[in-house]
Every structure is written in C-alpha cells, then in structure tokens.
C-alpha cells in the first residue's frame, strides 16, 4: 500500500488536476496483461427537467462512477426559467437539482470522489451555485463549485436586434419581443473548471453531450484537435444525455423491457483511445442492447455525417455496435474541425394560446367531438366580431382516440365510442382567449350528448413562445469560468470553419445491390426499430434494421418520397411535403435517418398539437407496409 500511494503521488505531480488510474480502483476495466486499461465512468441521472430523482442514488451508490452528469435544459425549459426569473431575480435555475437530485447526496459524492456536471444553472447558474453552496454548508461538506457563464446573450439584446440577426431557417430578423437568448457552449470551459479542481461544475446552456466530453478532455488530456477522440466522447455523451432512453426507455420493443419502476440509468465507460461501452448499475430494470443504443444514437440528429457540436463536427455514419452481456461496445465515430460559430436559441413572444381537453362518449364520438369543437370556435368568432376583435391567429382540433394524428393513414370505420376533444387556439389578445376559455362549458348543455368533463377545469391562457435560432461567432461570446471567487475567461483557440462547409446534400437513395424478391408483405415494425425526436419545428425519425439482411429492403422501400407521402398530413398546406423530407443513410448500424422539416406545427410551446415534439412519429411509421419481400426467417438464416 505504501508503494501504491507513493506512485499515486508521483503520477499526480506529472498530471496535476487529472483523474488518476491504478489497479487499486476496483471498478476499472483491464486489458490483457498487467497494464490496466485507462477508463472513466460517467453516469447520467437526468435527461430533462422533471426526470425522476431516484436515478441519482442508484448511480452514486452502485455505479462506481468517476463523474455524474445531470441534463436539464431544452428550448422550452429556457423559456420557463426566463419567466421564473422575471418574477423573482433569485430564480432562473432548476431547483430540483439542488433540492432533490443532488442535495441529499452531497456527503456521498464527496466521500466517493464523484465529480458532478450539470446545466441546471439555466439562465442563472450563479444562483444555482449559491444554493448548492448553502446546501453543502448545511450538510457539513466542503465542495468546490465552479460556474460557467456567458451563454446568456440578453445583455446584448439591443445590439443583436439592431444587427437584424436572421433566423437560420426562415431568414427573418430577430424580433424585438425576444424573451430569452442563449448560446450553446461546448466542453472546453467544463474541462477547464475540472482542471482547476472543481467538485461540481454548473453551466447555463451548453451542448448536452459536452457534460460528458468535458470530463473526458480533462481526464485524458485530449487536445482540441483530437477530432476523432472528441467525436467519440461526444457520442458517449449523446448516448447517455437523455437518461433512461438508452436503457430501454421509449424503446420500440417496449414489451421486452422489464421493471420500468426501477429502470437503470446509463453509464458510459470510456477508454483513452475513444472506445467505450454503455452499461447500467446492477440490479436495476431496463435493458442495454444494440437496439436501445442504436435508437438513442439516431435521436434528435440531422445529417449523421455532420452532427455539429461546439467542439467538433461528428460523423456517426460508420459507428459499430457490439452487444455483450448486458452492455454495448461502441466504436467508429469520426471527427471533423468545428465551426467558427455557436448556435443560439432565442425565444420570443408571439401572442397567447390556450388548450382545452374534453372527454366525450357514445356512438360516433369523433363526429360529435369535431362538431362540438367547431361550434365553440364559431361562437367565439361571432363574439369577436361584435366586440370588434381580431379573429384567431390559428386553431387546431383533433379527437384523441380516433387516430386523427395519423391523417389519411387513419383506419376506416365509424370511429371509437369514446374520445377526447383537443382544442387549441392562438390569438394576439389574451382577453380573446379568456373569452374562449369561458365559452367551452356551455357545450355541456347546448351541444353534443356525452360530453363528460373538461380535463383540469377551465383552461388557462399562456404565452406562446416561438424559437428563433441563429449563429454567432465564437469570438463574440465571452465565456467565463468562476471558481473560488476567481473568474477567468476561456477562449476557444481554434479558428473553425464556416457552418456552410457542412451543408452536405441529403441521400435520396443509394445504389442497392441485387436483392431477392418474394411474395411476403411486412410492416416497418417487423423489420426495424424506430425512434423520433424534435429540433424546433423539425422532427427526425431514425430507422434501424433489426437484422443486416433487412437493410436493403428498408433502403429500397423508405425513400424521402414515400415517407413524405405517408406523413403528408403533418406539413402546413402551403408547402410541398416532398420538399420537406431529407433522407440519410447510416450504414454502420444499418439505419436510415429522416428529417421532416416544418412538421410540428411550430414545435414546442408554439405548436397547438397534442404531439408538439413528434414523439409518436416513429411509432406511426411502424405501420407502413413493405411488400415483395421473401420470408424474413429465411433471410436471417441465409445471411
């Protein structure tokens, strides 16, 4: 033991601030021979603001971790936090992080030497850090808390509005009603904070995967130009950043996933050469398979050849997955030089919206529900005319339970004998929507029979926030790291390339080698796993073949045209669906990725739909039939 401690002290003098590895660490993965393989274990205990607080203790006590990350932020969350801070200056961060997620376990993480990373700071990372320091003092534990700031661009709001910064998609200038504005920072400042000895690093907006990449850059001393290593670390972060989505959550084969009540949260064990495995704590529910990991890899990405992050542009098209005894090994990510800009997500006020949800029962519930909703909206329009108020900006009606989300793919028949009316409306005047909210109740006595209740009572009017995304040069952002009351600026020393450099063409259909035809008809569900997610008003759908032999048939059947036709009802009437769908091939995992632009009715809180983030799109695609295929059992056996 004396020799081991002396060696540890010697190594520490060579690599100050870095994680140390030796044979005394019981959870390390060792390569053959006497030399241990250097690995870092990172667990993720939160995929969004509101995730279960039961994740942290399972990872802290049974994960054998070096680092623990918590991901809280989305565009919607940033808007909510901005509104909260407008009411009270001390708000603006995710209080759950301090109160429930990490606060009760501060002594445990200190004792085990686990270091914590989180973007729970939202728009007030300093406030989050102060609350954490108070919690640590009450717990009687000393912790160094670092804060990364500079992502909040509201202090220069006037300059950016005057510059007319255009939206990346629409080209429209930044509106004066901008509500929040945050740049996506990378892993560099996080690594610097860890180098300075931070036990906990709190950030504002950053790329979710950077919460894992930062610790890896710190631990392995990866250089900013080690692009393949940075891409591998970013992929590890991408796979675990959504928590249980990598361990069986929202998996296509959900019936095969045990013990949702105790689902395990993911751990990435990463080697210095960039290879890594994904696993979870022992004796927890969920599963880690090639299917769960492949689905998560495709989640919320665009072109898999150019997944743009602040530190590196990743190519995931040739990533390989190998499943072995409850874990999956991941290799093959490639990196390219980063861009010269940060992406900024701004939200702005665009009037108000209100959503009413009402239950209805009896024969022809769909027809009754639609007639009821249309009558309520028409009555309101008549009142608006009398009061000389504007018409609704937008309205949306659907009957949940009647497959309205499927559009023309809805099954024929008289519809269900019970359903749920979903009415959502948008108006520039809050008073107009308050009037609408009061008019709904009258339907219970003056319209369709079988209307049973307004879910949650009279609906409340809320602000409608839209997203405005733009690019800002990295040198125009002042990134700062504060620790021990000392603040240092962090500068990205790489010049980077223009973002347009990675505007590759999509892949309508690659050349398909000769494949045998048959007389069988299958659905996508028989041949593939699927997963969908959102980015603003766009939705992506990842499709991964269940067996390599199925991949050519999926490539042949699923073109950008066939997918556009299948989902034509989700696009606005003024655009052509054929112009909105992009298709990419991910040969390493035998997958396809489809990006459906302008498909979410505005997306997020700007959408009036029941599925504003496209979470069900992948499930809808499972029913698409694919014809002229041989028996799939014979295909798998012959290959």
For the stretch 191-194, contacts whose Cβ atoms lie closer than 8 Å and that sit 24 or more positions apart, written own/partner, are: 191/215, 191/217, 191/218, 192/481, 192/488, 192/490, 193/146, 193/148, 193/481, 193/483, 194/17, 194/115, 194/146, 194/218
Same structural domain, 432 and 561? no
Same structural domain, 311 and 375? no
Q: How many residues does the chain have?
A: 639
Same structural domain, 15 and 95? yes
Last residue within a domain, chosen from 449, 464, 479: 464
Same structural domain, 97 and 207? yes
- 16 within some domain: yes
Task: State yes or no: pLDDT of 19 exceeds 70.
Answer: no
Q: In Å, what is the CA distance from 600 to each residue of 216, 538, 539, 540, 574?
A: 36, 6, 7, 11, 14
Last residue within a domain, chosen from 339, 370, 390: 339
Render pLDDT for 564-608 as a digit per residue (tens, 0 to 9): 999 999 999 999 999 999 999 999 999 999 999 999 999 988 999
Same structural domain, 320 and 356? no
- Residue 16 pLDDT: 41
Question: For the CA atoms of the chain, what is the radius of gyration?
Answer: 26
Spatial neighbors of 596 by CB under 8 A, at least 6 apart, are: 538, 539, 540, 541, 563, 564, 567, 570, 571, 580, 581, 614, 617
Same structural domain, 335 and 449? no
To the nearest 10 degrees (0 to 180), the angle between helices 210-220 and 227-240 is: 140
Residue 69 CB burial class (10 angstroms; 0-12, 13-18, ≥19): buried
Counting residues of the chain whose pLDDT is more than 90, the rounded percentage is 85
- Residue 577 pLDDT: 97
Contact 141, 111 (CB under 8 A): no
Same structural domain, 524 and 426? no
Task: State yes or no: pLDDT of 471 exceeds 90.
Answer: yes
**Number of domains the chain contains:** 3
Same structural domain, 358 and 326? no
Which one is predicted more confidently, 525 or 508? 525
Same structural domain, 139 and 223? yes
**pTM of this structure:** 0.93
Phi, psi of 250 (to 5 degrees): 50, 30
How does residue 493 score in pLDDT terms, banded at 50, 70 and 90? confident
Task: State yes or no: pLDDT of 35 exceeds 70.
Answer: no
- 403 within some domain: yes
Domain that holds residue 624: 520-638
> Distance between terminal CA atoms of the chain?
54
Percent of the chain that is helix, strand, coil (3-state, to 5)? 35, 25, 40
Comparing C-alpha atoms, which of 123, 128, 118, 70 is closest to residue 95?
128
Instruction: Give CA 66 to chain center in angstroms.
Output: 24
Q: Residue 99 has what DSSP assignment?
A: I
Same structural domain, 334 and 356? no
> 3-state DSSP call for residue 557?
helix
Phi, psi of 347 (to 5 degrees): -120, 145
- 306 within some domain: yes
Render pLDDT for 198-209 as a digit per residue (tens, 0 to 9): 999 999 999 999
Measured CA angle at 463 (ends 459, 468), to 5 deg: 140
């Amino acid at each position: 033991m004396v020799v081991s401690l002396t060696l540890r002290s010697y190594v520490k003098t060579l690599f100050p601030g870095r994680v140390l590895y030796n044979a005394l660490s019981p959870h390390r993965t060792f390569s053959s021979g006497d030399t241990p393989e250097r690995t870092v274990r990172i667990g993720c205990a939160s995929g969004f603001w509101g995730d279960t607080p039961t994740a942290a203790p399972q990872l802290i006590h049974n994960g054998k971790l070096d680092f623990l990350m918590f991901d809280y932020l989305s565009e919607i969350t940033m808007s909510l936090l901005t509104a909260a801070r407008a009411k009270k200056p001390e708000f603006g961060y995710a209080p759950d992080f301090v109160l429930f997620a990490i606060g009760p376990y501060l002594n445990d993480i200190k004792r085990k030497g686990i270091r914590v990373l989180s973007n729970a700071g939202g728009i007030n990372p300093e406030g989050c850090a102060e609350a954490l320091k108070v919690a640590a003092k009450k717990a009687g534990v000393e912790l160094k808390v670092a804060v990364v700031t500079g992502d909040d661009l509201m202090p220069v709001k006037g300059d950016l509005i005057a510059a007319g910064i255009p939206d990346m998609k629409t080209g429209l200038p930044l509106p004066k009603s901008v509500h929040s504005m945050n740049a996506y920072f990378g892993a560099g400042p996080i690594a610097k904070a860890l180098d300075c000895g931070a036990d906990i690093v709190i950030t504002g907006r950053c790329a979710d995967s950077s919460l894992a990449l930062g610790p890896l850059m710190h631990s392995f001393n990866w250089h900013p130009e080690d692009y393949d290593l940075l891409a591998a670390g970013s992929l590890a972060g991408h796979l675990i950043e959504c928590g249980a989505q990598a361990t069986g959550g929202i998996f296509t084969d959900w019936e095969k996933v045990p013990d949702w009540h105790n689902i395990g949260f993911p751990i990435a064990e990463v080697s210095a050469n960039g290879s890594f495995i994904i696993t979870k704590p022992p004796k927890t529910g969920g599963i880690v398979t090639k299917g769960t990991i492949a689905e998560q890899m495709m989640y919320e990405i665009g072109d898999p050849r150019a997944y743009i992050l602040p530190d590196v542009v990743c190519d995931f098209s040739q990533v390989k997955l190998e499943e072995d005894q409850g874990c999956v090994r991941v290799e093959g990510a490639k990196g390219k030089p980063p861009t010269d800009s940060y992406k900024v997500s701004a939200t702005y006020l665009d009037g108000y919206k209100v959503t009413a949800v009402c239950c209805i029962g009896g024969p022809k519930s769909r027809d009754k529900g639609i007639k009821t909703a249309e009558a309520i909206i028409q009555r309101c329009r008549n009142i608006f005319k009398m009061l000389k108020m504007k018409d609704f900006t937008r309205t949306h009606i659907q009957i949940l339970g009647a497959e309205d989300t499927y559009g023309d793919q809805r099954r024929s028949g008289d519809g269900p004998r019970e359903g749920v009316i979903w009415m959502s409306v948008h108006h520039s005047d809050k008073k107009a929507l308050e009037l609408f909210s009061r008019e709904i109740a009258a339907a219970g006595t003056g319209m369709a029979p079988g209307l049973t209740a307004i879910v949650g009572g009279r609906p409340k009017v809320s602000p409608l926030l839209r997203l405005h995304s733009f690019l800002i040069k990295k040198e125009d952002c002042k990134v700062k790291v504060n620790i021990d009351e000392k603040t240092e600026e962090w500068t990205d020393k790489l010049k980077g390339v223009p973002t347009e450099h990675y505007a590759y063409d999509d892949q309508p259909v690659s050349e398909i080698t000769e494949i045998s035809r048959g007389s069988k008809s299958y659905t996508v569900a028989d041949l593939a796993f699927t997963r969908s997610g959102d980015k603003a008003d766009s939705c992506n759908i990842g499709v991964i073949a269940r067996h390599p032999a199925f991949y050519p048939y999926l490539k042949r059947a699923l073109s950008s045209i066939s997918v556009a036709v299948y989902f034509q009802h989700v696009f606005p009437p003024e655009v052509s669906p054929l112009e909105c769908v992009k298709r990419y091939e991910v040969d390493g995992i035998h997958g396809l990725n489809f990006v459906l632009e302008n498909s979410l009715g505005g997306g997020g809180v700007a959408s009036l739909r029941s599925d504003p983030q496209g979470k069900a799109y992948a499930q809808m695609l499972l029913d698409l039939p694919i014809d002229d295929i041989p028996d799939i059992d014979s295909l798998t056996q012959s290959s």
